[in-house]
A and B are shown apart, each in its own frame.
Chain A
Amino acid sequence: MCGIVGLFAKNPDLKENLGQHLSEMLKGMSQRGPDSTGFAVYSDNSLDNSVKFTLFNGITQSTWADVKAELETTIGVPVNLETRGSHAVITASSTVEKILSFLGSQHPEIRVMGYGHRIEIYKEKGLAADVVGRFGLSEMSGSHGIGHTRMATESAITTEHSHPFIAASDICLVHNGSLSNYNGLRRRLQNYGMSFETDNDSEVAARYVAYRMNEGASLREALEAALKDIDGFYTFAVGTIDGFAVVRDGIACKPAVMAETDDWVAMASEYRSLAHLPGADTAKVWEPEPAVVYSWGQE
């Protein structure tokens, strides 16, 4: 069992309090996933010509300031650094490839939680209330976000094994369920040159979506292909640069409920995570049908 949530602000006035709402939604899913908690927030104020990385530094002796200085020397442009709990967000007018190359060669011990233009991903072991507090989620603003509370069933409980999993630039995935053909699928993707950070099944789903989109598929097409290629029980929520998508397996084994008002669209594993949202009592509420891709923003 795990809990997943997603919130998309249709009304710009909601963006200021997006973190606050997402925080309450995650707390509502605490019982479904007490092992670890994670979330992705898409901020609204990023510059299109800059890239943003969320990093986790579990073991390195270097301070974030050292890493920033080294990176500035390597890429030759100023780097903005902000730290939140155990994570740091660096922003620079550079490319994803240059920064990944720097991290891979100079700081392989640093884990990349997320990257893109707008996405920030924070995840850690612990109950939702503790983890959202450590990262200050309730003070964050943004256009949309997804989150996850994990009850681990098939791989270790670490920060790296927590959700969301970054799939590609500004695309991440959270998963409630368990996949059955992920080892084979991982080998297939490795043969196509993809690398993996963990032995987690949900990471395979994230990389699969990235692989399909890299091949030219739209998000919808990638998820429709996933319905054929990924075997197991799942409700996936996928965050994209301007929205999110939800899909359930062919027999809808894992729960999902969606709600929509004029101001927002939200999904959660259980209604209790939606009940506190403004206007939830009069929202249109429904459960997504099996094997149907629902998406807002990017198709």
Chain B
Amino acid sequence: MTVIDLSKTSLRDLNQRLHDLNGADRNNEWRITNPSGEHAIAVGLNAPTNVQIDGPVGYYCGGMNKEAMITINGHCGWGVGENIMSGFIRVKGNASESAGASGRGGMIVIEGDASSRCGISMKGVDIVVTGSVGHMSAFLAQKGHLVVGGDVGPDLGASIYEAVIYVQGKVNGLGTDCIEKDMTPEHRKNLARLLQEAGVDMNPAGFRRYGSARKLYHFNVDHADAY
């Protein structure tokens, strides 16, 4: 295991060393200590390595991640796993706004609450939040899954495309074109798979499904007078 103390090593040096892996270093493990809320820790990784961060991180931690398994033992700031491509990010704490924004693939698990705009414009990432998420979550979500064990703030899934949302708690308002849909056996199976992959012990039976009503997909001639 390589231990990097961010009170002694610069963030630039740390990220450069991680970038230098460049697809290799399959079995290595990295432990980052004293992150002290620094922004942009472990962004742009491109190797199937394990990175453990002990403490709170700032903005964009694990952004653009490819293949790496990143564990954050603490809270994280805005945009954790922003534009994640693949790999896995686990937050053992709360996440701030825009968690997993525009993520293309991989999985983000937040073992706590996430704030507003969680999964905004997600494009294939799977996000599992054991606690609650804030307002405007899954705004413009195009693909992937958002699973919320707790409650959801106002305007869930506004202008959503084909992403799928599962919520166990209370929904405090749906956004434009987002509706509740039937929880079919197929969806229950899908959710069970996501929960298992996330390593989260929750019963799929208690969840409801939300998605797009697809009414914004096409011009509606009845609204012609509005233009």
Chain A residues at the B interface, C-beta cutoff of 8 Å? 28, 252, 255, 257, 270-273, 275, 285-287, 289-290
Contact = CB atoms under 8 A, between A and B. Distances in A.
B133 to A, nearest CB: 11
A286 B95 CA distance: 9
Nearest to A269: B77
B37 A287 contact: no
A275 B56 contact: yes
6 closest Cβ pairs, A-B complex: A272-B37, A287-B115, A271-B75, A275-B56, A271-B56, A285-B94
Interface in B90-130: 94, 96-97, 113, 115-116
Given A270-B77, A272-B58, A287 B36 contact: no
B55 A257 contact: no
B134 interface: yes
A28 B75 contact: no
Nearest to B113: A286
Given A255-B78, A271-B77, A287-B116, A28 B134 contact: no
12 contacts: A252-B116, A255-B78, A255-B96, A271-B37, A271-B77, A272-B58, A272-B77, A275-B36, A275-B37, A287-B116, A287-B134, A289-B135
A290 B96 contact: no
Given A257-B96, A285-B94, A290 B135 contact: yes
Contacts of B78: 255
B135 A252 contact: yes
B169 interface: no
Interface residues of B, number: 19
A275 B56 CA distance: 7
B150 interface: no
A257 B94 CA distance: 11
B173 interface: no
Interface in B40-66: 55-56, 58
A272 B39 CA distance: 10
Contacts of A290: 116, 135
B23 interface: no
Nearest to A31: B39
A164 B94 CA distance: 29
A197 B75 CA distance: 40
Given A270-B77, A272-B56, A289 B153 contact: yes
B103 to A, nearest CB: 20
A189 B58 CA distance: 39
Given A28-B37, A270-B77, A286-B113, 18 more contacts: A252-B135, A255-B96, A271-B56, A271-B77, A272-B37, A272-B38, A272-B58, A272-B77, A273-B37, A275-B36, A275-B37, A275-B55, A275-B56, A275-B74, A285-B75, A285-B94, A287-B96, A287-B115
Contacts of A271: 37, 56, 75, 77, 96
Contacts of B36: 272, 275
A249 to B, nearest CB: 12
A31 to B, nearest CB: 8
A286 B55 CA distance: 17
Contacts of B77: 255, 270-272
A289 B96 CA distance: 12
B61 to A, nearest CB: 12
Nearest to B93: A285
A270 B153 contact: no
Contact of B58 (A252, A270, A286, A287): A270
Contacts of B56: 271-272, 275
A278 B135 CA distance: 30
Nearest to A273: B37
B135 A270 contact: no
A27 to B, nearest CB: 11
Contacts of B115: 287
B10 to A, nearest CB: 14
A272 B76 CA distance: 9
Nearest to A253: B97
A274 B97 CA distance: 17
Nearest to B172: A289
A252 B37 CA distance: 21
Contacts of B153: 289
Contacts of A275: 36-37, 55-56, 74
A257 B75 CA distance: 11
B79 to A, nearest CB: 11
A286 B113 CA distance: 8
A1 to B, nearest CB: 11
Contacts of B96: 255, 257, 271, 287
Nearest to B37: A272
